């Protein structure tokens, strides 16, 4: 990755992939690509890299195309599946009122990247909210709507563990995959 960086002084580096990515995002935010948008995006990307230097992502990120496709498709299906019942409950739909639960789900992987992707995925899904992440033992604490009995709580835990498998298969390192394999997943 060293060949894709330019050193500026002692502590500053420009990471060219990040500059390209930020420039692309900037151009896409505008109505149409123009030379002005491209140049302003490039200048903004360089300034952001210099003003807010971030540590490199490094070997923690691996993109596995098949796993990524499965991850994205299942995330879309989860969004569609959970939005209907949540909207019904919010609109005061008939039936017995469901209780909610706060559950702890220990994960098998210890990667900060996997924890972050999972927390974002779970919080983006209607009906679940990540309340806390305990890094010491990689445990997620979630508020789950409609988990009103032991079976529903266990189903929510299994769903989170399935998300962990999909996340690791899409983005995980060999160590992450090994942690899943040791647990029999």
- How much is the pLDDT for 162? 94
Q: Does pLDDT of 29 surpass 70?
A: yes
Mean pLDDT in residue range 152-181: 91
Mean pLDDT in residue range 103-112: 90
CB atoms within 10 A of CB 125: 18
Residue with tokens 């900060």: 112
3-state class of 105 per DSSP?
Answer: strand
Mean pLDDT in residue range 148-173: 92
Q: Does pLDDT of 42 surpass 60?
A: yes
pLDDT band at 169 (very low <50, low <70, confident <90, very high): very high
User: What spatial distance separates the first Cα and last Cα of the chain, rounded to whole Å?
Assistant: 32
pLDDT band at 111 (very low <50, low <70, confident <90, very high): confident
Q: Nearest Cα to 172, choosing from 61, 11, 43? A: 61
Mean pLDDT in residue range 152-174: 92
Q: Does pLDDT of 147 surpass 70?
A: yes
CA dihedral for 162, 164, 154, 130, sign (positive or negative): negative
Residue with tokens 């008939």: 94
CA distances (Å), origin 50, targets 19, 63, 96:
11, 27, 56
- How much is the pLDDT for 185? 63
Measured CA to CA, the distance from residue 146 to residue 86 in angstroms comes to: 9
């Amino acid at each position: 990755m060293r060949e894709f960086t330019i050193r500026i002084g002692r502590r500053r580096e420009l990471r060219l992939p990040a500059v390209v990515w930020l420039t692309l995002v900037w151009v896409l935010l505008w109505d149409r690509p123009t030379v002005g948008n491209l140049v302003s995006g490039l200048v903004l990307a360089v300034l952001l890299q210099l003003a807010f230097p971030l540590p490199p992502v490094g070997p923690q990120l691996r993109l596995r195309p098949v796993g990524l496709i499965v991850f994205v498709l299942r995330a879309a299906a989860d969004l569609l599946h959970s939005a209907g019942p949540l909207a019904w409950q919010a609109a005061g739909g008939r039936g017995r009122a469901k209780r909610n639960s706060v559950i702890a789900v220990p994960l098998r992987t210890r990667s900060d990247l996997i924890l972050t992707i999972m927390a974002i995925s779970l919080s983006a899904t209607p009906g679940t909210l990540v309340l806390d992440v305990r890094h010491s033992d990689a445990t997620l604490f979630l508020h789950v709507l409609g988990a009103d009995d032991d079976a529903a709580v266990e189903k929510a835990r299994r769903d989170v563990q399935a998300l962990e498998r999909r996340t690791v298969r899409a983005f995980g390192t060999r160590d992450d995959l090994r942690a899943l394999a040791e647990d029999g997943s």
